[in-house]
């Protein structure tokens, strides 16, 4: 069962920045590396689900494929013992909303006779700067609860990225979770394969939960019943096949546009549309408009980082994304140029205004590399709704002020 984790914006971005795979994509990828998975298939309709169930034999599990936790609680995972149940569950689950994510497809897996459940995950430990393998005999249930209450039940092994995973480390995991010895050989293969999958996919996460001990034809064996995988977006150039598998159907349109333009963008619920270069400054700008606007119910409408070296086209795309948000009452552009050149930004703003056109008030602050050229370009354009600011403090105050006027 999955539980949500509240994380900070940074982790949120890591998650957004990473390419997330669906359960079925992750498990099929695991299988390519030799990890045993159920021989399930994906269905897009109830009829297709029944066909697959006829092929697999009953019972089957109907599992919603969505990028969110809490599927089980929300009724997105159901066991079907008859064909009628397959049809009923599949038609209920396809189209269902789980935490604002609409289900478009379901995975039909054969039912399994589960004896016990193990948690096995690999992720980047940024503090140790190494891959970290975690394993627990308390799989399937709330592993974060286990971490809080019985952290000793989670065995952790760091892998030296230059040496790779060593045999003795797998033994540490198997013996640490008291895995019955008859499963050690298969467990070792699975852990090695999961590590190879993690490295070979530039993953930031490969997770099997549960890795179940199941009984089939009177014999016990290990099988990866559920899987999760996230790929480092920065490494996608080495994995074109994985990049092609990206499912964008759940993403808001403006976020897809932002990603294609290489912009970091998150929609928030305030009125001040912000365009800033650099994540830190974008957050500081967001913080300060929030502090000044708090007593009037005014705040940032978005987080938008145009990154380093932003060219005119990119700035124009960023402005279009901001203007597409109906809540926006004013635009705050805060650029402190290092790699980014203020004249490029100024040309981008004018280009976007040419194409989109807006009557919204704008507060623009251009400081840093080529600031004089940037300011000259903005001044020459003679825009009626434009105010300039010298400092961040002044820019944030002016932006809050114009929104206050617009709201009265």
Partner 1 sequence: MAILADKNSKIIVQGMTGKQGMFHSEQMIDYGTNVVGGVTPGKGGEWVLGKPIFDTVMTAREATDANCSLIFVPPPFAADAILESIDAEIPLIVCITEGIPIQDMMRVRTLLDNSNSRLLGANCPGLLTPEQAKVGIMPGYISTPGPIGVVSKSGTLTYEAVFALTERGMGQTTCVGIGGDPINGTSFIDVLQMFEDDHETEKVVLIGEIGGNDEQNAAAFIEKHMTKPVVAFIAGRRAPEGKTMGHAGALVEGGQGTAAEKIEKFEAVGVQVAEYPEQIPDLLNNVN
Orientation of helix 23-32 relative to helix 184-200, angle to 10° = 110
CB 372 to partner 1: min, Å: 11
168 an active-site residue? no
351 binds partner 1 (CB under 8 A): no
- What is the C-alpha separation between 290 and 328, in angstroms, rounded? 14
In the bound state with partner 1, the residue whose beta carbon lies nearer, of 3 and 248, is: 3
Contact residue for partner 1 among 162, 219, 326, 382 (CB under 8 A) = 162
CB 96 to partner 1: min, Å: 18
17 within 8 A of 30, measured Cβ to Cβ? no
Contact residue for partner 1 among 32, 47, 55, 160 (CB under 8 A) = 160
Among the residue ranges 119-127, 165-173, 211-219, 313-321, the one whose residues contact partner 1 (CB under 8 A): 119-127
Find the binding residues for partner 1 in span 224-243 (CB under 8 A).
228, 230, 232, 234-235, 237-238
Cβ neighbours of residue 127 under 8 Å, at least 6 residues apart? none
CA contacts within 13 A on the Cβ side of 153:
16
Catalytic residue among 119, 195, 198, 265: 119
In the bound state with partner 1, the residue whose beta carbon lies nearer, of 129 and 241, is: 129
- What is the C-alpha separation between 252 and 259, in angstroms, rounded? 11
CB 286 to partner 1: min, Å: 5
CA end-to-end span of the chain: 49
3-state DSSP assignment of residue 96: coil
Task: Kindly tell me the burial class for residue 235, based on how many C-beta atoms sit within 10 Å of its own C-beta (0-12, 13-18, 19 or more).
Answer: middle
Among the residue ranges 55-63, 172-180, 186-194, 331-339, the one whose residues contact partner 1 (CB under 8 A): 331-339
Phi/psi of residue 218, nearest 5 degrees: 75, 10
10 binds partner 1 (CB under 8 A): yes
154 binds partner 1 (CB under 8 A): yes
Residue 395 token pair: 């820019």
Find the binding residues for partner 1 in span 34-73 (CB under 8 A).
67-69
- What is the C-alpha separation between 99 and 80, in angstroms, rounded? 23
- What is the C-alpha separation between 94 and 401, in angstroms, rounded? 47
119 an active-site residue? yes
Residue 330 token pair: 């004013």
In the bound state with partner 1, the residue whose beta carbon lies nearer, of 161 and 180, is: 161
In the bound state with partner 1, the residue whose beta carbon lies nearer, of 302 and 353, is: 302
Interface mask toward partner 1 for 379-398; x: CB under 8 A: ------------xxx--x--
**How many C-beta atoms lie closer than 10 Å to residue 291's C-beta?**
12
Catalytic residue among 138, 207, 254, 255: 207
Find the binding residues for partner 1 in span 176-205 (CB under 8 A).
199, 202, 204-205
Find the binding residues for partner 1 in span 250-289 (CB under 8 A).
266, 268, 276-281, 283-284, 286-288
339 binds partner 1 (CB under 8 A): yes
Residue in 349, 298, 360, 303 with CA at minimum distance from that of residue 326: 360
Phi/psi of residue 226, nearest 5 degrees: -140, 150
In the bound state with partner 1, the residue whose beta carbon lies nearer, of 56 and 224, is: 224
7 binds partner 1 (CB under 8 A): yes
CB 85 to partner 1: min, Å: 28
3-state DSSP assignment of residue 333: strand
In the bound state with partner 1, the residue whose beta carbon lies nearer, of 176 and 290, is: 290
309 binds partner 1 (CB under 8 A): yes
In the bound state with partner 1, the residue whose beta carbon lies nearer, of 21 and 94, is: 21
Contact residue for partner 1 among 40, 76, 140, 299 (CB under 8 A) = 299
- What is the C-alpha separation between 202 and 204, in angstroms, rounded? 7
In sequence order, the β-bridge partners of residue 157 are: 133
- What is the C-alpha separation between 134 and 173, in angstroms, rounded? 8
Among the residue ranges 13-21, 82-90, 182-190, 398-406, the one whose residues contact partner 1 (CB under 8 A): 13-21
Q: Number of residues in contact with partner 1, rule: CB under 8 A? A: 84
- What is the C-alpha separation between 275 and 342, in angstroms, rounded? 13
Cβ neighbours of residue 98 under 8 Å, at least 6 residues apart? 64, 66, 68, 70, 71, 74, 76
CB 315 to partner 1: min, Å: 15
Catalytic residue annotation: 119, 207
């Amino acid at each position: 069962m999955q539980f949500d984790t509240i994380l900070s914006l940074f982790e949120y971005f890591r998650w957004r920045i990473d390419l997330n795979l669906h359960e079925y994509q992750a498990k099929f990828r695991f299988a390519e590396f030799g990890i045993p998975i159920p021989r399930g298939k994906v269905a897009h309709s109830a009829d297709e689900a029944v066909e697959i169930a006829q092929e697999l034999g009953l019972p089957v599990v109907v599992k919603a494929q969505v990028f969110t936790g809490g599927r089980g609680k929300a009724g997105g995972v159901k066991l079907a013992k008859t064909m009628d149940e397959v049809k009923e569950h599949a038609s209920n689950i396809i189209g269902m909303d789980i935490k604002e994510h609409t289900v478009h497809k379901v995975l039909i897996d054969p039912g399994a006779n589960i004896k016990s459940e193990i948690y096995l995950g690999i992720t980047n430990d940024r503090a140790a700067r190494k891959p970290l393998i975690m394993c627990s005999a308390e799989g399937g249930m709330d592993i974060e609860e286990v971490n809080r209450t019985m952290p000793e039940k989670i065995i952790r092994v760091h892998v030296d990225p230059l040496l790779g995973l060593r045999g003795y480390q797998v033994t540490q995991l198997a013996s640490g979770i008291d895995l019955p010895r008859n499963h050690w050989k298969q467990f070792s293969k699975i852990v090695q394969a999961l590590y190879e999958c993690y490295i070979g996919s530039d993953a930031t996460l490969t997770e099997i939960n549960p890795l179940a001990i199941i009984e089939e034809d009177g014999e016990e064996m290990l099988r990866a019943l559920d899987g999760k995988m996230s790929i480092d977006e920065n490494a996608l150039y080495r994995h074109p096949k994985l990049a092609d598998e990206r499912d964008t159907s759940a993403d808001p349109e403006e976020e897809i546009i932002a990603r294609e333009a290489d912009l970091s963008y998150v929609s928030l619920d305030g009125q001040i549309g912000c365009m800033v270069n650099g994540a830190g400054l974008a957050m500081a700008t967001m913080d300060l408009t929030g502090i000044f606007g708090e007593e009037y119910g005014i705040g940032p409408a978005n987080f938008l980082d145009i990154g380093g070296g932003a060219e005119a086209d990119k700035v124009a795309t960023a402005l279009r994304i901001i203007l597409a948000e109906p809540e926006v009452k004013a635009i705050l552009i805060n650029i402190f140029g290092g790699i980014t050149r203020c004249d490029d930004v100024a040309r981008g703003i004018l280009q976007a205004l040419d194409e989109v056109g807006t009557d919204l008030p704008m507060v623009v602050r251009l400081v840093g590399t080529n600031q004089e050229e940037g300011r000259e370009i903005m001044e020459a354009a003679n825009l009626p709704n434009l105010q300039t600011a010298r400092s961040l403090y002044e820019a944030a105050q002016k932006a809050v002020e114009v929104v206050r006027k617009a709201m009265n």
